[in-house]
Every structure is written in C-alpha cells, then in structure tokens.
Amino acid sequence: MNTIYQDGREYDHLGMGQGAGDEIEFYFAQAGRGTSTLELACGTGRLTVSLAERGNRHQHSDWGKRGYGYTHGMAKYDYDIIILGGGSAGIVSGVMAGALGMRVLLIEKGKMGGECLNTGCVPSKALIHAARVAHTLRTAGECGLNSVPVSREDAAGVMAHVRATIKAVEGADATVKLLEDNGVEIRHGAAHFTNPHTLEMGGETLTGANFILATGSSPAPLDVPGLAEAGYLTNQTVFDLDAIPESLLVIGGGPNGVEMAQAFRRLGSHVTLVQNRERLLPRDDVALSSALAGILRREGIDIRFDARVTSVRVEDGRRVATVTQGDGDREVICDEILSTVGRVPNTGGLGLEAAGVKFDGKRVQTDAALRTTTSHIYAGGDLLGHDQFSHLAEYEAKLIVRNIVFPGTTRTDFHIDPWATFTDPEVAHLGLTEEEAKERGLAYEVYAQPFAQNDRAIVEGDAQGFVKILSSGLGGKILGVHILGPHAGELMHEWILAMQHGHSIRDVADLVHIYPTLSMASQHAAQRWYERKGQEPLAKAALGAYVKGIRPHQTALALGLAGAGLGLAWARRGNSRRDR
C-alpha cells in the first residue's frame, strides 16, 4: 500500500483513490491549510506536486500511468465544493460530499427543495392522487358500491391539499437538517462567478476548489401572439390556483401535459390538450402513447394532434385561443391556459462566462464525467437539458461527487435511463422503444402481456394496458421494456435491475413472482420468450424426441442441433418481428 507524505510526514487518510494504471493506488491526505506541496509515493516512484498550481487535483501521469489524487482541506480555497442550487441535484451532491468530510457550501436562490418539491413532482403527484380519489368515488359502482358524483365544486379544497402536501413532504425529507447534519453550510441568495474559482455574493467573496452547478431549469416562454397579455399558467403558478378551473387548455402532450390534463379533467375541468406532434409522449413507445390517448379521450379530454395555439385573446373575461390544425383554425374558449412546453436552463446571472463555462439556451456543456468546459466546475440535473427527471438529477449528483473525489473515473451511462409518466394508468419507460430499435436497424423481438389477463388487475378493476418487452439474440437480451398499466413505475424496477446487471428476459421469466401481483404481468410477458422458442421447428423436434424417450445422449445431440438451427433461423430472420 502506498502512502502520501507531505514534508516527510504522514497525514490523515480520508479515503483511497485508484488510478487507471496498475500499482498507482494511494490515500487521500488531509493536507492542512498552508500546504503548498504534496508528495505522492507509489510503487514506481515518488512525485512532488504543487497544490498551489494545481488546486486539489494532482495528475501523476509522469510515471507513464494515468492517476489522480484529491486532497481534502485545500489551503487556497474557502470550500472544497460550492454547490449552486438546492434542488434534487444540489441536495444529493451536498449530502454525499458532506458525508465524505468535504467542506461544502450550498447556495440556494429561491426555495430549498427546488422544482421537484415546490412546483414539480410533489405537487403534481398530490394533485394526481386527489384526482384518482375523485375518479374512484365516481366509479365505485363498478364494484357494487354507490358511486359518488364528484363535481368541480366538490374539489374546492384540492389545491389547498396540494400545498399542504408540499409542506408534509418538506417536513418528512428534512433536507436542511440532513445537509447540516453532514456539515454542509447553506446560504440563501444569488452568487455569480468573478473568476473560475471565485464567487461574489452580496459583496462577499467565496472561493472553492470545485463547483457544482445545479440551478435547474425554468419553463420556456411561449411565443404566441396575445398569450403573455392574456396570461397563462406554468408549473410555477398552476399549483397556486385556489380552485379547479371550469375549463382548461393544456399546451403540450409530454409527461407534464398529459398528467395535468387528466388530473384536472378528473377534478371536474373541461380539458382541451393541444399537441403539436402526431402523438402524445413522443419519447415513449408509440404503442403505449396511442393506447394512452384512447384512455384519455374516453375520460373526456379533447386532444388535438398536429395542432398549435397560434393566438390568444381575452373576451368577456375568458381566454379565446385559436388552435390551428391541418384542416383550419378553431377557437377554444377557456378559463385558464397551462403551458407545459419547453424548458430553459437557469444560467442567467451566474457569470458563467467569467468562469469559462460554455452554455447555450438549451444546456450547459459537459463531458461524460459531467465536467463543464472548466474542469473543476461540474454541472448536473435539469441544467444539462436532456432527460429532466429528479432521479436522473440525483444520479448525476452522485456521479459528480465521485468524480470530484476520483477525477474522471465515472462516466454517465444513460443507455438504461428509466422514467415514468404518472397518468392513470401509468406509462413507464426503460431502454429502447420499438421505434428506436428500428431506427438503429437492430434485430429484435417483442413479447407482450395485457393487464386484462392479470388476475390482480382484474380483481381491482384496473386492467388497462400491457407490458411490452423488446429483446434480442438467442440469450434473450433485454433491449427495452415499456409498461402501460397500474403502478407501471413501480413494476419497472425489476426490469431496471435486470437490464442494469445484464440479466436476460429468461431470468425474469424464471424468477418466482408472488401471486396475485401486478408484477406477474411482467413475468408472463417474459414467459412468452419460452413459448416462442419452444415453437421453433428444431427445438420442437428435439423436445418431441426427448419426450418420446430417445436416449439422453441422443437428445443432447438433438438439442445441440436444435440450438444450432435456432442460431441459423435467427440469423436468417433479418430485422424486426412483432409478437403483438
């Protein structure tokens, strides 16, 4: 084991780093204030690096191997890490870095908890839950109870409930306490870079060895004539409503648009949804998005595809939106308009130019280790402008802290990238969609199972949707899984685990699933793989021979031949094939 010495003395060890080379393995040193050099002793030699020149990172590629170290308590800077933004990404990185013993400052401009807690996930899911309760009351007759009609007026307390839920979650998460317990200092206000290591905040100068930009995103302004004058809602204002609007026009058919459209519809609003594409949830599998559109339409939502809101005016206190579709213009009169379209990264006022961080109107530029164009400044969460979800912000936050500790060692891997849309039924997404598999020219097979054949879904009167799996190769490699159904987001986790750890569709089929659960729909979809393989001519012949009592070694030979035959058949089958 190699040890770090400084001025010939051994220092406190905080952790262990490992270079990409072989024996380059070393401890972190607790370098006190005033430290200017650090000596790394490794199996192959000894190297003195200047902390003053290189900040907290030391590269000792001088030995012909790539290796890096990180020292805690860098003399030059006030903090090891300064985090800008106290949302999902900022909180998670703060807690993790604090727990590792780093000196961390988190600066939040608005409310702690960010979008997810205050204007995103939490209030939207609280509204969706209330809407589901209303729906359950209305449809209670389906299981022999008296149905209860729920009107918009009956839902008068729902928006207050949504706001109370934010407080409840805030209390339960106790984020500020968690951060403070891990030694993270929190300050409120706006800071901006004056140079790559320095922020100015309220006349005070704060320096950091590393920075994490986690300032999130905001709704993009919508450039529709008359809309700004008429006034419209976004996720930042919709949860401040005091009552359920009589009529609502939702612009956008992405996750937020469909979730809000269904929730307000169930709570008594007349809802029109305008989507400028030919389908809802364009990033999800097309089979699921068209099934969802049917469900939402049956619930009474007026969905316009390939349509745009082209102007808005106010008449008699109501908003009149012109919606342009292929066959002409139509007016939609409504009480409120909710835009769910587009996000812009929160980069304003950060002074990123002074820090050398490149960004545009859509994202902050990073490499796969989430380093910006200034290598000690990292960025994560919505600011990156790709899949904007809380769980990804958390994933990126952890990755950033790992990379600050072990620079450049962990790279983003978005090939799995799961998410869910919390409509009823939910839509959960993992890996490739069928459209993406086709675009990539992949050979794939589809296995599916409807919830209409799942006992639990039937007994609970919740049997809409299906599980759809894309797999490839003789081994049943999982390419993607898409679930439209009750609790689809929860059901996806066994697939995430399977895909992340390289398990096959067979592994899920073979796993014992508890009866009667919704998860059995996943197992049954996976079992289709066996059914199909069993129908392959050679496999059928071999199994037939085995059943007829042909000797084991002959059967083994037959099965071997069958396997080879399957391989040939597979190779011949060419591209895609459907099983639905």
Ligand X SMILES: Cc1cc2nc3c(=O)[nH]c(=O)nc-3n(C[C@H](O)[C@H](O)[C@H](O)COP(=O)(O)OP(=O)(O)OC[C@H]3O[C@@H](n4cnc5c(N)ncnc54)[C@H](O)[C@@H]3O)c2cc1C
Interface with ligand X: number of residues (CB under 6 A)? 35
Shortest distance, CB of residue 185 to ligand X, whole angstroms? 14
Instruction: Determine if 256 is a binding residue for ligand X (CB under 6 A).
Output: yes
Shortest distance, CB of residue 290 to ligand X, whole angstroms? 22
Instruction: Determine if 67 is a binding residue for ligand X (CB under 6 A).
Output: no
Answer for which of 116, 127, 520, 525 binds ligand X (CB under 6 A) is 116
Residue pointed to by tokens 């359920």: 244
- The residue range among 22-30, 356-364, 375-383, 424-432 that interacts with ligand X, by the rule CB under 6 A, is 375-383
Instruction: Determine if 257 is a binding residue for ligand X (CB under 6 A).
Output: no
Instruction: Determine if 391 is a binding residue for ligand X (CB under 6 A).
Output: yes
User: Would you state the structure tokens that stand for residue 277, as one six-digit string?
Assistant: 């594409």
3-class state of residue 249 by DSSP: strand
Answer for which of 49, 57, 97, 108 binds ligand X (CB under 6 A) is 108
Nearest CB to ligand X, comparing residues 382 and 434: 382
Shortest distance, CB of residue 424 to ligand X, whole angstroms? 14
Name 263's Cβ contacts closer than 8 Å, sequence gap at least 6: 124, 127, 128, 130, 131
The values of phi and psi at residue 154, to 5°, are -65, -25
User: Would you state the structure tokens that stand for residue 418, as one six-digit string?
Assistant: 């799961």
User: Would you state the structure tokens that stand for residue 31, as one six-digit string?
Assistant: 């370098």
Name 247's Cβ contacts closer than 8 Å, sequence gap at least 6: 269, 270, 271, 272, 333, 334, 335, 336
Instruction: Determine if 424 is a binding residue for ligand X (CB under 6 A).
Output: no
Shortest distance, CB of residue 343 to ligand X, whole angstroms? 8
Shortest distance, CB of residue 190 to ligand X, whole angstroms? 5
Q: Which string of b and e fits 413-431 if b means at least 16 CB within 10 Å?
A: eeeebbbbbbbbbbbbbbb
Shortest distance, CB of residue 71 to ligand X, whole angstroms? 27
Shortest distance, CB of residue 348 to ligand X, whole angstroms? 7
Answer for which of 94, 120, 208, 407 binds ligand X (CB under 6 A) is 120
Instruction: Determine if 377 is a binding residue for ligand X (CB under 6 A).
Output: no
Nearest CB to ligand X, comparing residues 69 and 87: 87
Answer for which of 346, 403, 423, 454 binds ligand X (CB under 6 A) is 346
Shortest distance, CB of residue 86 to ligand X, whole angstroms? 5
3-class state of residue 535 by DSSP: helix
CA 471 – CA 453 distance, rounded (Å) = 22
Instruction: Determine if 423 is a binding residue for ligand X (CB under 6 A).
Output: no
The values of phi and psi at residue 359, to 5°, are -155, 160
Q: Which parts of 152-240 are beta strand (E)? A: 185-188, 192-195, 198-201, 204-213, 217-219
Answer for which of 47, 82, 121, 404 binds ligand X (CB under 6 A) is 121
- The residue range among 74-82, 104-112, 331-339, 371-379 that interacts with ligand X, by the rule CB under 6 A, is 104-112
Helix (H) or strand (E) holding 353: helix 352-355
Name 39's Cβ contacts closer than 8 Å, sequence gap at least 6: 4, 5, 6, 7, 46, 47, 48, 49
Instruction: Determine if 84 is a binding residue for ligand X (CB under 6 A).
Output: yes
Answer for which of 21, 32, 110, 183 binds ligand X (CB under 6 A) is 110
Instruction: Determine if 393 is a binding residue for ligand X (CB under 6 A).
Output: yes
Instruction: Determine if 235 is a binding residue for ligand X (CB under 6 A).
Output: yes
In 3D, which of 400, 360, 318 has the Cα closest to residue 92? 400
Instruction: Determine if 471 is a binding residue for ligand X (CB under 6 A).
Output: no
Instruction: Determine if 381 is a binding residue for ligand X (CB under 6 A).
Output: yes
Instruction: Determine if 124 is a binding residue for ligand X (CB under 6 A).
Output: yes
Name 337's Cβ contacts closer than 8 Å, sequence gap at least 6: 227, 230, 231, 232, 233, 248, 249, 251, 309, 312, 319, 321
CA 393 – CA 380 distance, rounded (Å) = 6
Nearest CB to ligand X, comparing residues 346 and 504: 346
Instruction: Determine if 190 is a binding residue for ligand X (CB under 6 A).
Output: yes
- The residue range among 13-21, 79-87, 306-314, 400-408 that interacts with ligand X, by the rule CB under 6 A, is 79-87
CB 576 within 8 A of CB 437: yes
CA 496 – CA 499 distance, rounded (Å) = 5
Binding residues (CB under 6 A) for ligand X: these are 84-90, 107-110, 114-116, 120-121, 124, 190, 214-216, 235, 256, 346, 349-350, 381-383, 388-391, 393, 422
